Amino acid sequence: MAIDKAAYSKTKYPGIKIHKDGVRFWFDFKLNGKRYSRLYKSKSDHTKSDRIKEAYKELEKIKEEIKRTANLSVDEDSTVGDYWLKIQKLKGWKPERLSKFVYYYNKHLVHLDKLKIKNVKPAHFTDLNIKLSHLALSTQQKAYEILKPIFDLAVEDDLIIKSPIKDSHIPRRKQIEEKKIVTNALEKYKKVHKTLYQLFGSEGKVKIGEKTIKCEVNPHHLALFLFGFHGRRRTETTSLQWEDIDFDNNTYIIRAETSKVNTDMIFTLPQEIKELLEQFRDTTGNVFHVKKVYKHYPKIRLLTGIEEFSFHWMRNLAVSALSSQGASLTDLTAMLGHQDNATLKKYLSLQRDENTKRTDAIAQQILNTSDKDE
């Protein structure tokens, strides 16, 4: 649309002309030998003096943006998809983790793929969170494990000034509410251990109601689940490489790229797991080759009678059982691979039922002894 130049008059600021309505402005200026023309509309409820000051600030922003764009070493029309490809190369994720991220991106984030990085707004992530709200919080968080590095890199490349992802966009897990308190932990701890050996350490069939469960000697599967029984997360276990296991010193390492705390962690290798690993020991590559660990859950749930069983649930079971037998907060924190014991304190503080049962029993014992003494 043509500009009615006669309707604009000069202001005290070079390159800024004000319309006769006192609200609209025409920026007509030169920068680095090139002439630019922009239109701007200010807020009508401000005084004329304030509107001119607003226009000056806006012009300065425009000039800075022009300078920044001129200095770009990357394509200013780069898309989210372009940067997603860059991140995949720069991060150096292991194949298993990368394939999971690619699958997640193609399923949940592909609608952002063609958007130009510079055109992505905070509102896009508000909409994304609504779209993902039916998923588990850990699944929602994965979106930002992918997206945050993309926009951080765009900032480093000076493609954008700041990331459109705000801290409030990233779903936060309410760990106190999410922790599953395990009742009768010691009994269940023994039962799960026995069941794992029954299912993967013996031959035969077990009939429960109308269902028959086939058991087989499978040191591979047994070792896999015993890692979970001893406190490891599923992804930590399935990402283990043979070179991560030190059979001489009875230790193994969880690498930073697969741990939640982003640091290498060394753990003691339980003797029972070591003996199983020796049966199918190799030198390089993945220790475990199970694509769908959860497929075994129904059998274990039937055999144990524990409906809440899952790989991650075994971490809660271990904490509940071992703490009931006097394991220290520091030891349990180390076992789970936490950076500090704050999270664990919150978890243990919720076990009031089991704790008070023990104190009541001690109190009753004291009272009974007192009665006899009298």
Higher pLDDT, residue 180 or 295? 295
DSSP string, 297-347: HHHHHHHH--TT--TTHHHHHHHHHHHHTT--HHHHHHHHT-SSSHHHHHH
Terminal-to-terminal C-alpha distance of the chain: 104
pLDDT at 56 over 90: yes
Is position 369 within any domain?
A: no
Give 352's pLDDT tier (boundaries 50, 70, 90). Answer: very low
Domain finish residue from 123, 155, 173? 173
Nearest C-alpha neighbor of 243 from the set 235, 232, 229, 254? 254
Is position 365 within any domain?
A: no
Task: State the helix-helix crossing angle for 313-324 and 219-229, rounded to 10 degrees.
Answer: 60
Q: Which amino acid is at 255?
A: R
Higher pLDDT, residue 4 or 326? 4
Residues 167 and 91 in one domain: yes
pLDDT at 177 over 50: no
Residues 314 and 206 in one domain: yes
Residues 107 and 150 in one domain: yes
pLDDT computed for residue 353 by the predictor = 44
pLDDT computed for residue 59 by the predictor = 93
Three-class SS state of 357: helix
Is position 91 within any domain?
A: yes
The rounded distance, in Å, linking the Cα atoms of 316 and 88 is 33
Residues 254 and 297 in one domain: yes
Is position 368 within any domain?
A: no
Is position 75 within any domain?
A: no
pLDDT digits (tens, 9 = 90+) for 205-261: 999 988 999 999 999 999 999 999 998 999 899 999 999 999 999 999 988 877 776
Give residue for tokens 């709200």: 133
Residues 168 and 191 in one domain: no
Domain count, the chain: 3
Proportion of the chain above pLDDT 90, given as a percent: 55
On whether the CB atoms of residues 272 and 223 are closer than 8 A, the answer is no
Identify the domain containing residue 58 by its residue range. Answer: 5-70
DSSP letter at 112? G
Give 342's pLDDT tier (boundaries 50, 70, 90). Answer: low
Residues 25 and 133 in one domain: no
The rounded distance, in Å, linking the Cα atoms of 329 and 334 is 9
Higher pLDDT, residue 173 or 259? 259
pLDDT digits (tens, 9 = 90+) for 250-287: 999 988 877 776 678 888 899 999 999 999 999 889 99
pLDDT at 292 over 80: yes
Residues 169 and 218 in one domain: no
Average pLDDT over residues 152-165: 90
Proportion of the chain above pLDDT 70, given as a percent: 85
Beta strands of the chain (E only): which ranges? 8-10, 16-19, 24-31, 34-41, 201-208, 211-217, 245-246, 251-254, 265-268
What predicted TM-score, i.e. pTM, was given to this entire model? Answer: 0.53
Residues 159 and 197 in one domain: no
Task: Report CA 115 to chain centroid distance, whole Å.
Answer: 24
Cα–Cα separations (whole angstroms), residue 266 to 85, 251, 356: 32, 7, 35
Domain finish residue from 13, 48, 70? 70
pLDDT at 71 over 90: no
Residues 151 and 231 in one domain: no
Is position 201 within any domain?
A: yes
pLDDT digits (tens, 9 = 90+) for 73-95: 567 889 999 999 999 988 888 78
Cα–Cα separations (whole angstroms), residue 304 to 69, 110, 206: 63, 41, 12
Residues 226 and 301 in one domain: yes
Domain finish residue from 116, 147, 173? 173
Residues 233 and 322 in one domain: yes
Is position 363 within any domain?
A: no
Residues 37 and 102 in one domain: no
Is position 108 within any domain?
A: yes
